[in-house]
A and B are shown apart, each in its own frame.
Chain A
Amino acid sequence: MVGALSVTAGGNNCVFIRPVFDLVTEVLNTKISPEAVEYAKLRAYSISDLYREKANKTELLSVLIRFTPQVILAYSHGTENEIIGPDELSTIIDLGNTVWMNGKIVVLNACLCGKRLAQALVDAGASAVFAYNDELMIRVWSDTYDPLEGFKECINKPQVIFDGLKAKDVYDITIEEYNKWIEYWDEKDPTTADVLRHDRDNFALYGSGESRITFSIYLLIGLTDIFIITYAVLWTILMILKETKFLWKKKEEIIL
């Protein structure tokens, strides 16, 4: 049973790539991405969180071999050809390891990756890739560096992929989220609305819009295991109560 449960974890694994090596990546991965990690956790996904120095190629390859993640989400700096991490001189995803993403849904929350890397990932077999074609701009409060209302919500919106939605629906929902916050900021501060507009217009979906997370057979096995364990525990409690019934009765009589 334990074995089956661990297989369940692997079959429903998702990978978060969250390096921290400067102020921007710190904001990104301490104030924005944790919400998406939590979102996946709440939906019973097993998380491989490549956080800080763990966001390197060796760890990524190890996770890809040990588990079979269906989704990979990266939050870092990016260029046309690569995702940077775990430090500013290294890359974790680039044109040289695109094949690692074969069959996966990839979300690249980084600058410029939509220009070349996203299509290269699709060409190498990724089923769908969400990426930004230009710089991803984020407005923050000057004192705390907390993102202004709407930025975290929009950047993290592709997390609805964990609900089993199709990639094209995830894209539409994300654009809707951007539009909602653009309208909100148009009233308060048009400059912030314009920055959101820029992000929205550069957010793109590559690959198949029909891609979605498939409901893993291992999850069914896992749920069956949980059901059996719960049944066994409840049955045992019931039996204990039944067997000790006379003791309870005696106690009641004594009290009377």
Chain B
Amino acid sequence: MNQADELKKTIADAIRKTGFSTMIANKIYTSEELAKEVENETEVGKKIIEIAIRGTIERYRRAAGKW
């Protein structure tokens, strides 16, 4: 498994774990549907990956005291 696939799987697993649904545009995604979007790298999936990366960067920045 390459790093990109590993990243997708990690994010999809995190989404599945909590079981929350997410309203994006005019649809409510169940956790399973959203995880699938991430794994299949659809437009919505790509956006979720992007916000997960940005969130991780912010968490690291805060941990490093740069926030």
Binding site for B on A (CB under 8 A): 22-24, 27, 77, 88, 111, 135, 137-142, 145, 148, 186, 189-195, 197-198, 201
Are A111 and B25 in contact, with the CB atoms below 8 A?
yes
With an 8 A cutoff between CB atoms, is B65 at the interface?
no
Provide the B46-62 mask, 1 if CB < 8 A to any CB of A, else 0. 01000110111011000
Smallest distance from the beta carbon of B14 to chain A beta carbons, Å? Answer: 5
Are A137 and B22 in contact, with the CB atoms below 8 A?
yes
Binding site for A on B (CB under 8 A): 11, 14-15, 18-28, 30-31, 47, 51-52, 54-56, 58-59
User: Which of these, B11, B14, B23, B54, contacts A137 with CB under 8 Å?
Assistant: B23
A27 to B20, CA, bound (A): 15
Q: How many A-B residue pairs have CB under 8 A?
A: 71
A148 to B28, CA, bound (A): 14
Nearest first, the 4 closest Cβ-Cβ pairs linking A and B are A194-B55, A138-B23, A198-B51, A142-B21
The interface residues of chain A lying within 8 Å CB-to-CB of B59 are: 186, 190
Smallest distance from the beta carbon of A154 to chain B beta carbons, Å? Answer: 14
A191 to B52, CA, bound (A): 7
Are A145 and B54 in contact, with the CB atoms below 8 A?
no
Among A186, A191, A193, which residue has the most Cβ atoms of chain B within 10 A? A191
Interface of B is mostly: helix
User: Which of these, B14, B28, B52, B54, contacts A140 with CB under 8 Å?
Assistant: B28
Are A193 and B24 in contact, with the CB atoms below 8 A?
no
Are B18 and A189 in contact, with the CB atoms below 8 A?
yes
Are B18 and A137 in contact, with the CB atoms below 8 A?
no
User: Which of these, A22, A137, A141, A186, contacts B24 with CB under 8 Å?
Assistant: A137
Are A190 and B55 in contact, with the CB atoms below 8 A?
yes
Are A194 and B25 in contact, with the CB atoms below 8 A?
no
24 A–B pairs (Cβ distance < 8 Å), ordered by A: A23-B28, A24-B25, A77-B25, A135-B24, A135-B25, A137-B23, A139-B21, A140-B21, A140-B28, A141-B21, A148-B20, A189-B14, A189-B18, A190-B56, A190-B59, A191-B11, A191-B14, A191-B18, A192-B18, A192-B20, A197-B51, A197-B55, A197-B58, A198-B54
Given A194-B52, A194-B55, A195-B51, also A22-B26 (CB < 8 A)? yes
The interface residues of chain A lying within 8 Å CB-to-CB of B21 are: 139-142, 145
The interface residues of chain A lying within 8 Å CB-to-CB of B27 are: 24
Smallest distance from the beta carbon of A151 to chain B beta carbons, Å? Answer: 9
Given A189-B18, A192-B20, A198-B51, also A24-B58 (CB < 8 A)? no
Given A24-B27, A24-B28, A190-B14, also A140-B55 (CB < 8 A)? no
